[in-house]
């Protein structure tokens, strides 16, 4: 029996506890700042309001503290939002954690001082280079995982043996794991797919959406190579696989459908999605300064048009 701690009590972190527990691991979950999820996880029946299910009784909830992180675990899982990465990175740095770390968080960070886009793993290592970080990405909706629907993901680590050792801890008959050394490619694909799923959602017919899907993949391949990722990663679970799930029915594609109908982003957000987080919008605002300055606009016309739409609050203009 291995000891696993999951930092982040949101939908994905909580759903991830299920395959971990089914592998006979000792699993603890903690939540640093969301009062809603702290209330859910600390309740007797462990009913999770975002997943709409009761989590397993043998899942342990502990109050977040530095003392908790000092305890001996075999795997530390980070399932915080992008805004929480700097926070947890500094905490782990202070403790000089050497335990293997698995990152579920998706996103990219623009560091203005060095004029560079950082992946989540790079952002964490900026705080403490001694971390042994793996990343897990792929087409995984938290609610489906929580209900044990078949799900396939990819674990990336430069040391493939480490990735496979983590896979053994979490894989089940319904939660399948693949492996790669391409950490950068996996992280870039899993982030930018949020932008492209919004673009695909803007297609007002299946014919138009499929055309946008194909063009999105071409741009994703270019961007993945630009950031030194591998071409085949774009065609895998973290690229095309994750893009398909997001475009088929996620919040990004939903927002894209409103943009495709002629609404500006602010109007669509206020009128139709006021309580929803649109990850593609957050990423667009984060990376836009770098993209506009550094990347050949002719190579990524779809992304450029969407960034201008969101940043300038203009109507979307995409030629299918």
Average pLDDT for runs of 10 along the chain of length 320: 96 97 97 95 95 96 95 96 90 88 96 94 88 96 96 97 97 97 98 97 93 97 97 96 92 95 96 91 96 96 96 86
Residue finishing a domain among 181, 199, 215: 181
pLDDT computed for residue 320 by the predictor: 61
Same domain, 199 and 251: yes
User: Is the pTM for the entire model greater than 0.85?
Assistant: yes
Same domain, 154 and 205: no
pLDDT computed for residue 250 by the predictor: 85
Same domain, 300 and 275: yes
Sign of dihedral through CA atoms 210, 214, 215, 217? positive
Give the domain range for residue 63. Answer: 3-181
pLDDT computed for residue 127 by the predictor: 79
Task: Give the count of domains, the chain.
Answer: 2
Residue finishing a domain among 138, 162, 181: 181
- Nearest Cα to Cα of residue 6 among 148, 103, 84: 103
Same domain, 16 and 87: yes
Residue finishing a domain among 152, 181, 210: 181
d(CA 106, CA 279): 9
């Amino acid at each position: 029996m291995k000891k696993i701690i999951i930092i982040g009590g949101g939908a994905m972190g909580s759903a991830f506890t299920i395959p971990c527990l089914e592998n006979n691991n000792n699993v603890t979950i903690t939540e640093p700042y969301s009062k809603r999820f702290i209330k859910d996880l600390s309740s007797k029946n462990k009913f999770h309001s975002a997943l709409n299910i009761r989590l397993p009784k043998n899942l342990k909830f502990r109050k977040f503290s530095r003392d908790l992180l000092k305890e001996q675990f075999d795997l530390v899982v980070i399932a915080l939002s992008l805004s929480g990465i700097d926070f947890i990175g500094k905490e782990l740095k202070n403790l000089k954690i050497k335990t293997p770390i698995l990152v579920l968080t998706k996103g990219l960070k623009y560091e203005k001082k060095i004029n560079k886009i950082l992946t989540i793993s790079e952002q964490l290592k900026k705080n403490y280079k001694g971390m042994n970080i793996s990343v897990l990405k792929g087409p995984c909706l938290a609610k489906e995982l929580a209900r044990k629907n078949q799900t396939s993901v990819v674990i990336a680590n430069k040391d493939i043996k480490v990735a496979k050792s983590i896979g053994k801890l979490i894989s089940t008959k319904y939660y399948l794991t693949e492996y790669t050394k391409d950490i950068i490619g996996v992280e870039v694909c899993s982030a930018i797919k949020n932008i492209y799923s919004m673009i695909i959602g803007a297609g007002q017919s299946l014919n138009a959406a499929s055309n946008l899907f194909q063009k999105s993949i071409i741009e994703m391949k270019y961007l993945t190579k630009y950031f030194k990722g591998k071409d085949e990663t774009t065609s895998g679970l973290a690229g095309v696989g994750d893009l398909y799930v997001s475009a088929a029915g996620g919040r990004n594609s939903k927002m894209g459908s409103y943009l495709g109908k002629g609404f500006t982003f602010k109007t669509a957000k206020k009128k139709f999605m006021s309580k929803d987080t649109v990850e593609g919008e957050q990423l667009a605002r984060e990376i836009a300064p770098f993209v506009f300055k550094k990347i050949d606009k002719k190579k990524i016309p779809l992304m450029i048009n969407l960034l201008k739409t969101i940043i300038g609050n203009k109507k979307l203009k995409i030629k299918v």
